[in-house]
Structure 1
Amino acid sequence: MHLSRIELDLRTARAPYQWHKALWELFPDRPEDERDFLFRLEAAVPGRPALVLLQSRSAPQDGSTRARILAMRTFEPNLANGQELRFRLLANPVRAIKDAGGRLRAAKQANGQALVKSCRVPLLKDEQQLDWLNRKFAGAAEVLAATAANGEPLHFRKPEQPPGKIVPCTFDGVLRVVDSTRLLELLAQGIGPAKAFGCGLLSLARP
């Protein structure tokens, strides 16, 4: 895998959905491929480019007018069961609820029957967020200590869809590796939804 520090021009990539599109420009000639990178906005100061941490299977290439590579290195994590590590994760902790109250329009199946939709609602309390974190790490790592801090809501709009909002949460703490193979899978795949909006990148470091 490759880990890169990217400078992102927020004047031309203002919204979360545009961040993803700008970073995708660092992987040219792949318009039909699925995204194989994760990213996290590390610092953003009004009037200046934002700093982004980018993790990808293939190496990014300079050439985008909106994103510039500042540094890049390859890394192959070597984890061992029982090992204790510090971690950071910017995630979108949510839970799915059914539209029991009819607030969403029911979709129609091919047989004409109504299909009750579900929607995601953010988890905003520390206890809920930490429970979500433990469920995501289950079978891969044991969370020994963690804090959760809510960030500013991110508003976005996808083409032909109503406006959306996510409430990102930064988790910092210490974990113990339970299954190194499974934890490496989480590291590569990312954790939780909203990866296209800068969530899901797990960072690990020795104490």
Structure 2
Amino acid sequence: MEMSANWLSRISLRGDVGCKQLVGMGELDLYGQHRALWKLFTVAPEDRTERAEFLFRAERKGSVPVFYVLSRQQPIDRAGLWHIESKPYRPVLNEGDRLAFKLRVNPVVTRRTEVNKRRKRHDVVMDAKCQLNWNALPTDQRPALADIVHKAGVTWLQARAERLGCSFLEDSIRVDGYQTWRQSGLKGIELSTLDFDGILAITDPHRFSAALVEGVGPAKGFGCGLLLVRRL
């Protein structure tokens, strides 16, 4: 199965960007990264849809970010700040294909509160610690945090495999990079992220194609959800 064309881009700061600009870009928080990348696209309000206009993942090259961006529109640098390498993204996918993958997500579970029975999202790692009654456990009886992160992360990922149109080879999955981010100010946005890498097999090319372009999980505006794959 061949996907409709999108653009996959690697975006980094130009080498001639001034020191002041370089420091400022290096300190962009998750919300600031999304705002900076939006400036590379021009989308009329009437052309916007429920699908995210672009998915992105930020990584570090020294002290400054490098972005991997999947978008419907080719990004264009109008401010003279960025070095953009773009190519059409139209992978040919077949059932049974095995791919190496990388994925950063905001992994949450939804539970009802005891007070008003409303449904509330919880960070899967904190939820796992709560289920273990972590704070009440003697220190020497607490599982290693890395073990909790791995088990909670793999459970979250495997629960989504069918709807994503793939199966994850559990022994290959590495879970890392557990971080919690809070936005200062009145909005009080808080989210956590996990990084996965490993091997998957495509079981449903149509669903998997949709997962690639629509992303995985919530918080896509904060650098989560972009499923990066390569053939083995």
| Residue from 120, 125, 130 that aligns with 2:154 | 130
The answer as to 2:195 corresponding to 1:181 is no
More helix per residue: 2
Instruction: Give 1:10 deviation, angstroms.
Output: 6.2
The answer (yes or no) to whether the contact 1:134–1:143 under 8 Å persists in 2 is yes
Q: Deviations over 1:85-129 (max 9, x none)?
A: 111101111111222235xxxxxxxxxxxxx53322111232121
The answer as to 2:8 corresponding to 1:3 is yes
| Residue from 76, 81, 97 that aligns with 2:90 | 76
The answer as to 2:60 corresponding to 1:43 is yes
Number of equivalences: 189
Q: Which residue of 1 aligns with 2:113?
A: 99
4+ aligned runs moved over 6 Å, structure 1 = none
Secondary structure of 1:188's match?
helix
Specify the code of the residue in structure 1 equivalent to 2:8.
Answer: L
Specify the code of the residue in structure 1 equivalent to 2:227.
Answer: L
Secondary structure of 1:167's match?
strand
The answer as to 2:195 corresponding to 1:190 is no
C-alpha RMSD of matched pairs (Å) = 2.2
Q: Which residue of 1 aligns with 2:131?
A: none
Cα separation, partners in 2 of 1:43 and 1:99, compared to 1, 3 Å: same
Instruction: Give 1:30 deviation, angstroms.
Output: 3.1
Alignment partners' CA distance in 2, 1:64 and 1:165? 30
The answer (yes or no) to whether the contact 1:4–1:69 under 8 Å persists in 2 is no
Q: Identity of counterpart residues, as a percentage?
A: 29
The answer (yes or no) to whether the contact 1:17–1:157 under 8 Å persists in 2 is no
TM-score by length of 2: 0.74
Instruction: Give 1:57 deviation, angstroms.
Output: 0.9
Q: Which residue of 2 aligns with 1:105?
A: none
Alignment partners' CA distance in 2, 1:36 and 1:29? 8
Secondary structure of 1:77's match?
coil
Instruction: Give 1:6 deviation, angstroms.
Output: 1.3
Cα separation, partners in 2 of 1:95 and 1:80, compared to 1, 3 Å: same
| Residue from 61, 80, 88 that aligns with 2:76 | 61
| Residue from 160, 176, 181 that aligns with 1:154 | 181
The answer (yes or no) to whether the contact 1:150–1:167 under 8 Å persists in 2 is no
Gaps spanning 5+ residues in structure 2: where? Answer: 1-5, 14-21, 126-148
Q: Structure 1 stretch 36-45 or stretch 177-186: which is displaced more?
A: 36-45
